[in-house]
Amino acid sequence: MPAKRYKGFGYIGDYYVFASKKSQFTYMALGPSDVDAYALPKQFMFKHIFKKFPGLHSEMLAESFSRYVKEFRRPITKMRNDNIIHLNKKSHYSKVATD
């Protein structure tokens, strides 16, 4: 399966937490040096932060979904489809195979 690499600082998984969904992709931290990570438990976010700021959950959910589609789902799905087309061209059993 194709992989998408990111360099530098960033954050992942926010959409899954805010939408209470299982992750569609596997995320792995790679690097020549140590990786520093910080997390806030989902229960803390929902019981403390979102209770104090009621409109924040929907705003963060919309923003995280938009970023998730733009930076993860769309590019990885395109790479997956391109990889399938490439592999089908190599296959002798595929209708798309070229000589």
Instruction: Return the domain boundaries, the chain.
Output: 14-90
pLDDT of residue 53: 94
Provide the greatest CA pair distance for the chain.
64
pLDDT of residue 92: 67
Q: pLDDT by residue for the chain (99 residues), tens digit each?
A: 556 676 666 667 788 888 888 888 787 777 777 777 788 888 998 999 999 998 999 999 999 899 889 888 898 889 889 988 988 887 666 565 554
Residues written for the chain: 99
Residues 19 and 65: beta-carbon distance below 8 Å: yes
pLDDT of residue 95: 62
Q: Using CA atoms, how far apart are residues 56 and 69, in angstroms rounded to an integer? A: 20
